Amino acid sequence: MYGVLFLLPLSWQRMGVLDATGAGLAFLPMSLAFVALSHRSGPWSRRFGARRLMVGGMALIGAGIGVLAFSHAGQSLWLAEVGLFLTGVGMALNTGPVLATAVAAVEPTRAGTASAMVNTARMAGATLGVGVLGHVFAAGSSVFAGFSAAMALGGVVVGIGALPAIFASR
């Protein structure tokens, strides 16, 4: 996920699709979707179950990144915007239930530690994702090939990340 957030604006700028300001503004659909929906993840989690929201959120994130893989390195901006919007909705559905599930799984005196562990794992994954997707991007035969391969890999990794929630015992 974070590898995507790192590569996409740099790709747009490198190819002359958008300048730095435009690349930042292009992330508005994702950001607005996250802001508009994340406060609903708690009530929806209670209504539908945290597991469903986590799986659905990860599926939407993976689908959004998959759409980015087909956006021709973001040159098809409308397609990239659809991918970013799906990613933002998925993040909104997933983030709250993940933290709530981790905190609920431990004694109240350990809630801070559980939350910190989730955030530490997220940052470790972000660091690894930027490195791996950056390498795949750089190894491509062209900017387009590298971008598409990196986004496809990112989508697959997000899909794999959903497996624990899919197969977790209820």
Tell me which of 3.30.420.40, 2.60.40.10, 1.20.1250.20, 1.10.730.10 is the CATH number of domain 2-164.
1.20.1250.20
Contact between residue 26 and residue 4 where contact means Cβ atoms under 8 Å apart: no
Tokens encoding 34: 């996250």
pTM, to two decimals: 0.88
Nearest to 38 by CA among 86, 99, 103, 91: 91
Quick one: pLDDT at residue 143? 82
Quick one: pLDDT at residue 147? 87
Quick one: pLDDT at residue 10? 87
Q: Kindly tell me the burial class for residue 15, based on how many C-beta atoms sit within 10 Å of its own C-beta (0-12, 13-18, 19 or more).
A: middle
Quick one: pLDDT at residue 30? 96
Contact between residue 91 and residue 40 where contact means Cβ atoms under 8 Å apart: no
Segments making up each domain of the chain, as ranges: 2-164
pLDDT digits (tens, 9 = 90+) for 119-134: 999 899 999 999 999 9
Query: Which of 19-28, 63-72, 88-97, 105-114 bottoms out in mean pLDDT, i.e. has the lowest?
Result: 63-72
pLDDT digits (tens, 9 = 90+) for 27-82: 999 999 999 999 999 899 999 998 899 999 999 999 999 898 888 766 688 999 99
**Could you say which DSSP state residue 108 is in?**
G
Contact between residue 81 and residue 22 where contact means Cβ atoms under 8 Å apart: no
